[in-house]
Amino acid sequence: QMTFERGANPKDLVKEGQEVKVKLMGFDDRGKVRLSMKVVDQATGAELKEDA
């Protein structure tokens, strides 16, 4: 999860090699890691509230 906007292109949001802050959301049924950028403030690393 990178943004709340539908249809956003990941290449428009981050550049290859760019460091970003993420939250571990869990694992899918195949064991793949699920990460989210959209629930973390990229400046501070603090988790954002759902109503923000």
pLDDT digits (tens, 9 = 90+) for 2-51: 766 777 888 888 899 999 999 999 999 999 999 999 999 999 999 998 75
pLDDT of residue 51: 57
Residue 27 has which token pair? 């694992």
CA proximity to 38, closest of 28, 47, 51: 47
Residue listed under structure tokens 């981050």: 14
The rounded Cα 31 to chain-centroid distance in angstroms is 18
Cα 35 from Cα 16, distance rounded (Å): 17
pLDDT of residue 1: 75
Contact 5, 12 (CB under 8 A): no
Contact 47, 39 (CB under 8 A): yes
pLDDT of residue 12: 83
pLDDT of residue 18: 93
